[in-house]
Amino acid sequence: MKDRNIVIIGGNTGIGEALKKQLEAAGAHVFSYSRSGDGTGKLDVTEEFSSIDGLPEVVHGLVYCPGSINLKPFHRFKIEDFQKDFEINTLGAVKVLQACMKPLKAAKGASVVLFSTVAVQVGLGFHASIAAAKGAVEGLTRSLAAEWAPNQIRVNAVAPSLTDTPLAAQLLGSEDKKEASNKRHPMGRYGTAEDVASAAYFLLSEGSSWMTGQILHPDGGMSAIKGM
């Protein structure tokens, strides 16, 4: 990672912040953007934009972290809920990818990491809106992986289960909630930001140089096995 230019969208909290620390410790140059403006620059992915200020001419890695957790019974969802989740999770990623195409191509061997959720692989109640939006992200991941392979740009995604981040604070807001979440995962615990950041770091690294169009599942086993 030394001296590689890595762009993180949403790098000021949670998984993005943990990944930023891992990358900087390895000697990468990290360009971090957030809605608050902390880091390299300010970027609201729900707004219209075609360029991103301060991007380096060569981008070796791009990570899109913005997401949402909007959980409720299907009959209580409004169309606006689906539109908002799609705007943040899918269309925001599309706008960022289009804005970064030129510097990604210039790297002649770049890696893009997007984020999905275990709820795409495993049917979970109350997840209709976020699962629909992230399902689109997985389709985007595979399609772009095929389209950009001739440019030596790899595109993969990470699909974690519940992770201890500010976004999930309401779901882990008490010891009872934490214990219930632990029991839902075959590995006996919910995830940490570092767990998921490590998966993203791997996809950015040369260790995954023969991987593209893949969805990694750091989810405590939830998508693949049943607990005892």
Cα–Cα distance measured from residue 31 to residue 8, given in angstroms and rounded to the nearest whole number? 6
What residue has token string 């595979």? 142
Q: Tell me the pairing of strands 163-164 and 61-64.
A: unpaired
Query: Which residues touch 89 (CB under 8 Å, ≥6 apart)?
Result: 66, 67, 68, 130, 133, 134, 136, 137
Q: Burial of 170 by CB count in 10 Å (0-12 exposed, 13-18 middle, 19+ buried)?
A: exposed
Instruction: Give the chain's domains with CATH numbers.
Output: 5-216 (3.40.50.720)
How many Å apart are CA 164 and CA 14, to the nearest integer?
Answer: 8
Q: Using one digit for the tens of pLDDT, what is the confidence trace for 177-214? A: 999 999 999 999 999 999 999 999 999 999 999 999 99
Contact 10, 66 (CB under 8 A): yes
CB 118 within 8 A of CB 217: yes
For residue 118, what pLDDT is reported?
97
Query: What are the tens digits of pLDDT across the range 32-81?
Result: 999 988 889 999 999 999 999 999 999 999 999 999 999 999 999 999 99
> Which among 102, 20, 107 is positioned nearest to 61, based on CA atoms?
107
Going by pLDDT thresholds of 50, 70 and 90, the confidence category of residue 220 is very high
Q: 114 versus 167: which is more confidently predicted?
A: 114
The pTM of this model reads 0.96
Average pLDDT over residues 88-96: 98
Phi and psi at residue 209, to the nearest 5°: -65, -15
CA distance 149 to 49: 25
